[in-house]
Structure 1
């Protein structure tokens, strides 16, 4: 049995067909061609002896006759034919409306008056002006003139129209849809040579009418792969969050409870030795609640110690901030601005028992009244870690940061001195973002001040190193996202959530984990030895 593939979408109105005297001539042509090659890939390539194309309808009748005798078999090809409209043909020859507008705008700062452009191009000016703006080829100068914003352009619309004119289709379906909206192309009705549609299932109507007895059924392919069932997908942030949690658990940390988005100013600011007149406590940086607006649910004795520390240094050697601390300011309820509010509470709980070394972490949502841009959101996630032990130093913090970020697969980090009310010394952490081609701040770190730790009740020789970073920016680096608004918010492409792979940081264990500081290998090794001694006791 021979095999033929039949073309199923022809423009018969413009096709000139060879004249065949009978069906026998067509049968002879088909069988002779198959005898030589064994296969006809496409019936449109089959021509008569004089080179003229064959009438596909007549050819189909011949193939059906040969198939009924089991001499040949064939499959149909369904094609969509796209053609240019009159306007589309004109633009394919002379250029698109937007290209005409760009050509009409002279180079230089003077540009062209909008009224003059309309007189010059007519209706094409109105259409092309909007498209040229969208392509960022031109811009307005004042309210009456247009100027160029680029030196040269590629008229992609003309390129697409010429491709459709030559091939009757386009490789990008979205281009066809867009050009159809502009009424530059149109789709011809599919021309199907299928005589009988095969049924795939027995329907209720078939059983009622008895049609199932004579119907032609499509054969089942029992070897075909079934459709994958639809299921839920984790957001990239949640994938990275879970990988962070694995890193922390691997290093012996205990997760802090962070299920309260609303926090009092006392735990969020005052317990951290942040003065009540600090700019971060203003409404332009913090979201305050209206109802309920306040809460006094924090220990009275701790509040008194915090008050004295703010005013005159309390039991520390500090002089404090020398101002009158107000309880009503500490009672204000806010949406927490950082998860350090939880860290202060956990350190207070730790101090109520006999001291033991501890390692805490949290990953949860925080809120800042900030302007939204490519790297900032008003609602985001914070990753925070805290280590409490006797004798910790800044070198331990730097060494640990190096180990921690290498476990995340972030190789290029650097530190910059910074100021925080509750840590001294303090450092900002930066990582290089290949997409933005710049250093991006990904975190903050430091050692908690004695003015914070002593009022909480921790022994004077206990030191606490802490760091915090946004979950969004490491996710952007991991997945190559340049705009944070493409990751979280109303502009997120939901297909991204489905398509992005599972997060897997490269875990590198051993002496290759050297830091960005001088003599980094020794710093890392010393930090590792100290951190291994810090254990969590349940």
Structure 2
């Protein structure tokens, strides 16, 4: 029997008694694993070998988990410190126990969130107690991490692995392992003798010009064989959506604006008539910078007008906020919480000089907020900023703009809900219907800028503006239900490789 060289090599290496993996055969024959796989499938079609497939779950630890293997899980360290300070008898000050445990930074929150979950004790009103009957030696998550570190699976349980995976301490992947086993027919052919057939895999120009193609034996081409899976690079689904949004807005007569990602609170909030004691401006909701911590200078005349608007309002009936206003706070640098800071820079003339109406500008840039992560919120997201400067603008103009914009994406079910913003009046939230769940999800915020914002910036006509979420638009267009699938630490690579716009 004559067979191609790769098939002969696989047949000679395979065994009738013991399964040989593709990787082992490739190593012994010095063939590429893909070539061995192809030859094995061809031999299986001839009934000479059997291919056995098994699925293997691979588990690996993250760098954070490796630290915990050395130092112990934060909640266990907290428990041990609490017991050492007598918290198993009487409540102890939480800060004292945290210091004793040597916990700092994110490890503190991790310890606190898992301490009660695992039943090690309770935390209430700044005091901590420890359950004297708790047994940290039997902690399944700690035991599982130790087992993984030692290369063992003896102590791993599905529940512990799931918990560790949720905590971002382990990563699991599924691998298909193929092995080859000789059949009776394969053994018979080997005993009868198998020779290498001189076959040609493809026609070349040399074969044609020399005429040798008439005499050579061509290898059979299996049209039913699985093609090699390729994952070529492609434009990210959010980038695709961003480019499409840009094309639509440019087609509607808008021009793009750009500006700094890190900016002074003055441009991010003060120019928007956002009071400095607003809850959204405290250190819990913004990402402030330490180095540098402040901007060097701000336009003095503009600062005076903005401060006056905050303290006294504008116009004869102006009230202002009568709340603290501090120049140092205005100079503080932070990651912008919205891209409306770009709008403030342009309307004030800081970005491009004075602008005469009519004007239409937009941007598609990142914003950063300390939000709770869920299916529609991330710590960073893309905002579609836009504004129109013109005389005698009304709510009808604003709604009409949105209707025209969303119709370009096949979205016609858009609803408006009255809302409050410090810098727009009237203000509206926008909602769109998700094509899969049927729910109305928030997709943006909009309104007409208040005089308290426009007058200090030197604008004496109407300006309507909006901030739309690019990720939410993508959800309405593609049917995606969780923005964490497309960017962030939990993104779904299979989704990114295969997803097409279907709505």
> What are the equivalent positions in structure 2 for 1:108-187 lying under 5 Å apart?
177=176
CA contact (8 A) 2:486 2:496 kept: no
**Distance in structure 2 (CA, Å) of the matches to 1:330 and 1:76:** 78
Counterpart position of 1:66? none
Deviations 1:202-238 (A, max 9, x none): 9xxxxxxxxxxxxx986378999x9999743111000
CA contact (8 A) 1:243 1:504 kept: no
Counterpart position of 2:313? 313
Counterpart position of 2:181? 189
Deviations 1:26-79 (A, max 9, x none): xxxxxxxxxxxxxxxxxxxxxxxxxxxxxxxxxxxxxxxxxxxxxxxxx83566
Counterpart position of 2:322? 322
Asked which structure has the greater CA Rg, the reply is: 1
Number of aligned residue pairs: give it.
335
Counterpart position of 1:301? 301
Deviations 1:358-394 (A, max 9, x none): 0000001110011211211001110111011000001
Counterpart position of 1:405? 406
Q: 1:133 and 1:384, CA in 2 relative to 1: closer, same or farther beyond 3 A?
A: same
**1:187 deviation in Å?**
6.0
Counterpart position of 1:476? 475
CA contact (8 A) 1:316 1:451 kept: no
RMSD: 4.0
CA contact (8 A) 1:351 1:456 kept: no
Q: 1:359 and 1:199, CA in 2 relative to 1: closer, same or farther beyond 3 A?
A: farther
SS in 2 for 1:415: strand
Matched, 1:440 2:410: no
**1:436 deviation in Å?**
3.6
Counterpart position of 2:50? 80
**Distance in structure 2 (CA, Å) of the matches to 1:452 and 1:251:** 26
Deviations 1:383-439 (A, max 9, x none): 111011000001111121111111122222111111111011111111111334421
> What are the equivalent positions in structure 2 for 1:91-106 lying under 5 Å apart?
none
**Distance in structure 1 (CA, Å) of the matches to 2:347 and 2:325:** 22
Counterpart position of 1:243? 244
CA contact (8 A) 1:339 1:364 kept: yes
> What are the equivalent positions in structure 2 for 1:335-484 lying under 5 Å apart?
335-349=335-349, 353=354, 355-459=356-460, 462-484=461-483
**1:332 deviation in Å?**
0.4
SS in 2 for 1:80: strand
**Distance in structure 2 (CA, Å) of the matches to 1:326 and 1:83:** 69
Q: What stretches of structure 1 of length at least 5 have no aligned partner?
A: 1-7, 14-74, 85-125, 137-173, 181-185, 203-215, 506-538
CA contact (8 A) 2:314 2:455 kept: no
SS in 1 for 2:195: coil
**Distance in structure 2 (CA, Å) of the matches to 1:332 and 1:281:** 11
CA contact (8 A) 1:316 1:450 kept: no
SS in 1 for 2:329: helix
Task: Give the TM-score taking structure 1 as reference length.
Answer: 0.55
**Distance in structure 1 (CA, Å) of the matches to 2:53 and 2:265:** 67
> What are the equivalent positions in structure 2 for 1:52-67 lying under 5 Å apart?
none
Counterpart position of 1:289? 289
Q: 1:373 and 1:228, CA in 2 relative to 1: closer, same or farther beyond 3 A?
A: closer
Counterpart position of 1:274? 274
Counterpart position of 1:149? none
